[in-house]
Structure 1
């Protein structure tokens, strides 16, 4: 009985060892391409097996099952489906930039249809594949035993084609993956030739010849910064977009036609995706989507409604469907059986180094064959020159072996030469044949010298490599299919790209109804309501709602539906949910013009600050406009241009009129400057711009009001105590407003009464003149006064 020894091994060590072995096997033997020929083992074996079957481009196709069986039985003992799927991809024009297998039959479609079963399809090598296999019989690469040791297979193909970049590669190994996009053959070879001539070229220099990937399905790459990053670091992410054109359907109708789609995108799924996006309302004004693709090319037609905005619809298709996708780049490949992420120049250099190795081995093989042939011919020449002696030696020899030895001894020839002399036919003795031997020797001498120069002179070898590359370029090169748009800004579509840009008019009422229309004549308030704000802008602008707490709530104007005719709009609560402690003090519209001006804010404690409008550009729904002291509140916000005069009014009846240019502009997250020096217990209650105003209106809680000429409030220095506007300090001032004679004011009472009064009917007095009663209120009080826009309709 054989004794058994059991050794205990910690399970974590055994698992680690087994996992590492598995990882290495997947990395080297399955998932990653070799930097030299750009092939994974399965693809290399398919091409080699097809070549061994004699299925070259000028021979008839044979059943795919025959090729798959050859690969499985001799080199690749895995599933037949995996081998066939790999072969199918090598034959698909939409998967490979340059096909390596010439397929005959149904090899699948860009709609995602599977290829027919391998028993139905036929295949052979594509012409380019012969360039990958060229010189394989000349000991240019190493062979190793196959899986069962019965045959030999190549470790790499002696490719003349820079296949790793030209056809790209993708694969997932253990803990790593590769995504190398395809490139244009002419461009890659042009870069290789330049690198052969100048080893000091930078990646930027090489990009003059290789501007970016070139996909078999065409399309557009948007922006080249990520291409540069990927070529410098080996990693990046590019934005890829389908190609479209606009066709006129009738005088007012157009159609969008998609002629190319992003790489590896399923056409049928894209059409389904577009249809679903239309159903969900993300893309509108579309009447029909259909596939008109045929043998002439891809054609997806999107019919649009009359006067639809084609640019907006296209942008929405890019945003919400796979018509625009991102393509990951990770240029990882095997270098000396080790995975390595490489930049563009490194990959090109590895290929050139490999070509030098292949050419060196091929040249050494041809040199040895030439020398062997020369050696034989020299023996034959020696025999012909000593023909009588040779005949005598052969005639006097008892057997061939003796004749061979005697020839070696008496003619001073080698064993191989002696054998060749014995095998020489008598016809070689005629003068013409003797001349051929002499000429062949001369040719061989020249060939040997040429081969030696290739091996001994780097310039000669590089010229030969360059010549062969140019031949490949001229034979198989084609024009670029993928367009590169260098404008990086077009890669990311923001919300404005998805919105039709049109002029709008917005109105806001006292009862907080918001309405959007295109015609100012359509603005009207509901019964018992008044329009308090009218703003003009576009559908790409933002509404800014400033609140007493210093916050600004942002509403995109395009999100407000357009209202027509007698509509009074929708409640603001449909669009904004304000916190209970916040109250709107002013509404501004952020237009392109406003962004170049200032937004100026005033607070109860007399602070005033201005900030460039651009700082209010944001993608969030709420931002801070000012840093407030604990007890302070915002009382107003206005758009200014740096040249305005500002008027602050206080609850104690003080006013200060000063120039805006005395305030320095600051960022949003600041407190601002002192506008008025307040008395104890006083606070600012109004903030006005005095341009285009004739009067200052002062109103009190008990219904009194006066109007005073604006010139009575002379310009002062900021941060002073200001001027009085009341004769009696006991009055409770509610508001101090600037207005013109044509304006109307809305007086609002604590009990909710709304009283409209023309400015012209308010008694005009001196600045500190007597206050006159405007309304008899009994037990009610005025709580606020609003200057109404001059267009104000009620029902």
Structure 2
């Protein structure tokens, strides 16, 4: 076609340009509030349209559908649902601090219930919304044509109160989001009055008036530093906590009463979440959760069981439900047609600037109107003084225009004055009082002087602004609802709150399987039928509480920690979980010692020995679990080489008077005072325990006294018991003395040794073929250290001994 201009553009250029325009549009004209009146375009259009339609607080309510249709048809060509949603939000007193819309009918609830359809509800502007629109008909704000150029709409409202801070704002646009919390109207006006008198004041002085947000739902706001940062930069983080109290009930029971919840938290979802925690037994001690809210206010009752830690449960709920939330300030508003992060002083200054502009425009309008009226009044006074001539002149004229021209020519009236005289109806002449006109003229002169002074002197203008702010303050001020606390209270949650105190049987196997079983499951099963593989065996079986703590030490120097309640709950006949499901173990890594504690503040220390001749003591608190205990083990012994292994870990609840006894594979035994072993940290090697010859290694460690008896087993299957006194106490890091009789052919080597607790209690030997062999020490004679004992195991049939231990006793549970 002739005249058609085709442009060749890349898709990238077209997309970039169009999206840029779209982004600018939704940032400026949809999602973000204006810093001056705190309104988004849809909200401004709703208020303006309802005001224009006379749908104000002093008139009867009208159907919401009428307001929505009016807004959509004249000013906001978008979906009716988005307009109705905005209308509703402005009426919800749990969302906005000072509702701008009054509504009859269901306008939603704190439980997230949707409002009734717009054909059912009725709405009108609230009284305070009238202050947003006051003087809009006095050319106080810029007006622009609407989308179809048929009507004018305001770009901003006069806003006689600081709506942006009072009602806050939330919105999401392209690249920008805003979250401005509601504030107390009285406090904000106090700050404005102070700023008006002290334009160079700092944030600290302004915060003496604006303490922080004031949510319509009340609650407790913690973190003054977060508020200060937000008021300075536009970004900040605070904690909002429910207002709660603990009530005493009969039967030694208690009840947590929630009377205020954090801003924008859905009450029904919150109650459901607390009840879920009760049902899932995530927290122990809640018997019932009830929503008892009524027309008198919000009330959630959390009834507790007998003799429970109410504060502990409350802390758990604060941490794990929306009874406590984090509120993030993100104060973004449109300033001079641009989105910006704004602080408190910027918002207050922009509002004052806007009000000064509104008052200036209004005063110009009033001045112009007063000057016009003054001219007419002067003309009427003059006309009344020569009334007969004026009437005669008008009667002699041909028409209205001729009458006006004759009055101007004959009596020196202005055209405006002549128009007013000609338009005067005859009946008005009968009651037109010159004194009334003179009084009006004097008043007009006074007003005109006042208007000119306001326009000429900023101080006079600020005086008017100050007076208007005080009037708003006097009429609409109300008490603060949100309590502000300077510090964020740390939440300490006792395990007893989260975990019911139950007795369980815990099993740990040599190969790394662990489980906890209920006492009933254990009693109903054969203790030997523990679900382990044939070649595996338990190294720890104890009746514990779910509140206890388990420390498992491996031969590779790793400590695995598990609270008992976190161990997999399985039937006694089941295998349980393998520790490598959460923590990786080496192929040849085994658990060599397991201890249970009822507190992580236990006293004492651990005595640790390695096969390559090192020993140390480490205090309990050095082995406390870290945050990553579930996925990684803690190192309790740093091994000097990859081949080295830990042979024993002994817990000493208090300083022991016993001596350390070590034996080596080649048959050497060394004994010295425990005091010679120094205390070292977790990630250390320790000190030299024994002077080993090449190829020799430490097989075990025991704490003994002179009256103790020790038993040992050799690789050839010989068993020997002897008094500990046979090994004299010397000093650390020596070679020691022989505890076996040296043979030139097939010499015996010590595999393991143990301190006998009771000679009548059987011992158990475990071989490399995972065979178990029982020995009754009472049946064997006492030997001296030069003896090799007596053969008890046929190594060709049962395998070579690997370990000697006290035979596990079967738990007898009452």
TM-score category, normalised to shorter length? 0.7 to 0.9
Deviates further, 114-123 or 601-610: 601-610
Query: Is the CA contact (8 Å cut-off) linking 1:745 and 1:785 kept in structure 2?
Result: no
> Within 1, Cα distance between the matches of 2:685 and 2:283?
44
Query: Is the CA contact (8 Å cut-off) linking 2:166 and 2:185 kept in structure 1?
Result: yes
Q: 2:134: which partner in 1? A: 134
1:473 CA drift (Å):
3.6
Q: 1:436: which partner in 2? A: 439
1:168 CA drift (Å):
2.0
Query: Is the CA contact (8 Å cut-off) linking 2:508 and 2:539 kept in structure 1?
Result: yes
Q: 1:451: which partner in 2? A: 454
Query: Is the CA contact (8 Å cut-off) linking 1:642 and 1:660 kept in structure 2?
Result: no
Q: 1:633 to 1:614 in 2, by over 3 A?
A: closer
Equivalent positions of 1:128-207 (< 5 A) are 128-199=128-199, 203=203, 206-207=206-207
| SS in structure 2 of the partner of residue 472 of structure 1 | helix
| SS in structure 2 of the partner of residue 340 of structure 1 | strand
Q: 1:26: which partner in 2? A: 26
Q: 2:407: which partner in 1? A: 403
Query: Is the CA contact (8 Å cut-off) linking 2:374 and 2:441 kept in structure 1?
Result: no
Q: 1:623: which partner in 2? A: 633
Deviates further, 311-320 or 66-75: 311-320
Q: 2:534: which partner in 1? A: none
Q: 2:739: which partner in 1? A: 726
Equivalent positions of 1:37-48 (< 5 A) are 37-48=37-48
Query: Is the CA contact (8 Å cut-off) linking 2:670 and 2:727 kept in structure 1?
Result: no
Equivalent positions of 1:489-504 (< 5 A) are 490=490, 496=495, 499-500=498-499
1:666 CA drift (Å):
3.6
Equivalent positions of 1:550-565 (< 5 A) are 550-559=557-566
1:474 CA drift (Å):
3.8
Q: 1:72: which partner in 2? A: 72
Question: Which residue, 757, 768, 773 being the options, matches 1:753?
Answer: 773
Query: Is the CA contact (8 Å cut-off) linking 2:243 and 2:258 kept in structure 1?
Result: yes
| SS in structure 2 of the partner of residue 630 of structure 1 | coil
1:302 CA drift (Å):
4.8
Q: 1:794 to 1:486 in 2, by over 3 A?
A: same
Q: 2:533: which partner in 1? A: none
Q: 1:706: which partner in 2? A: 722
> Within 2, Cα distance between the matches of 1:722 and 1:66?
102
Equivalent positions of 1:183-582 (< 5 A) are 183-199=183-199, 203=203, 206-207=206-207, 209-221=209-221, 226-236=226-236, 239-247=239-247, 250-274=250-274, 276=276, 278-282=278-282, 289-303=289-303, 310=310, 314=314, 317=317, 321-370=321-370, 383=382, 387=385, 399-408=403-412, 432-433=435-436, 436=439, 439-440=442-443, 443-444=446-447, 447-448=450-451, 451-452=454-455, 455-457=457-459, 461-462=461-462, 464-484=464-484, 488=488, 490=490, 496=495, 499-500=498-499, 526=527, 539=546, 542-559=549-566, 573-574=576-577, 576-577=579-580, 579=585, 580-582=587-589
The alignment's TM-score, normalised by the length of structure 1, stands at 0.80
1:42 CA drift (Å):
0.8
Unpaired segments of 5 or more residues in structure 1?
none
> Within 2, Cα distance between the matches of 1:226 and 1:45?
34
Q: 1:742 to 1:437 in 2, by over 3 A?
A: farther
Q: 1:632: which partner in 2? A: 644
Q: 1:680: which partner in 2? A: 694
Q: 1:473 to 1:595 in 2, by over 3 A?
A: farther
1:584 CA drift (Å):
1.0
Query: Is the CA contact (8 Å cut-off) linking 1:596 and 1:613 kept in structure 2?
Result: no
The alignment's TM-score, normalised by the length of structure 2, stands at 0.79
Q: What's the CA shift string for 1:385-405, capped at 9, x where partnerless?
A: x957x9778867964323334
Q: What's the CA shift string for 1:7-56, capped at 9, x where partnerless?
A: 43333322322222222222222222112111111110110111111222
1:102 CA drift (Å):
0.5
| SS in structure 1 of the partner of residue 171 of structure 2 | strand
Q: What's the CA shift string for 1:720-773, capped at 9, x where partnerless?
A: 3254362645553344556888997844353412446589x98597xxx54584
| SS in structure 1 of the partner of residue 28 of structure 2 | helix
Q: What's the CA shift string for 1:436-456, capped at 9, x where partnerless?
A: 357526743763475257x43
Q: What's the CA shift string for 1:478-535, capped at 9, x where partnerless?
A: 33434456554646x87948524859797668888876899xxx9x994799997698
Matched, 1:657 2:638: no
Unpaired segments of 5 or more residues in structure 2?
397-402, 531-536
Q: 1:745 to 1:229 in 2, by over 3 A?
A: farther
Q: 1:587: which partner in 2? A: 594
Q: What's the CA shift string for 1:305-351, capped at 9, x where partnerless?
A: 55566556555655665555555542222112212223344333332
> Within 2, Cα distance between the matches of 1:198 and 1:666?
61
Q: 1:240 to 1:291 in 2, by over 3 A?
A: same
Question: Which residue, 780, 784, 787 being the options, matches 2:803?
Answer: 784
Q: 1:613: which partner in 2? A: 622
Q: 1:36 to 1:445 in 2, by over 3 A?
A: closer
> Within 2, Cα distance between the matches of 1:537 and 1:215?
48
| SS in structure 2 of the partner of residue 91 of structure 1 | coil
Q: 1:343 to 1:207 in 2, by over 3 A?
A: same
Q: 1:104: which partner in 2? A: 104
1:152 CA drift (Å):
1.0
Q: 1:776 to 1:630 in 2, by over 3 A?
A: closer
Q: 1:607 to 1:315 in 2, by over 3 A?
A: same
1:72 CA drift (Å):
1.9
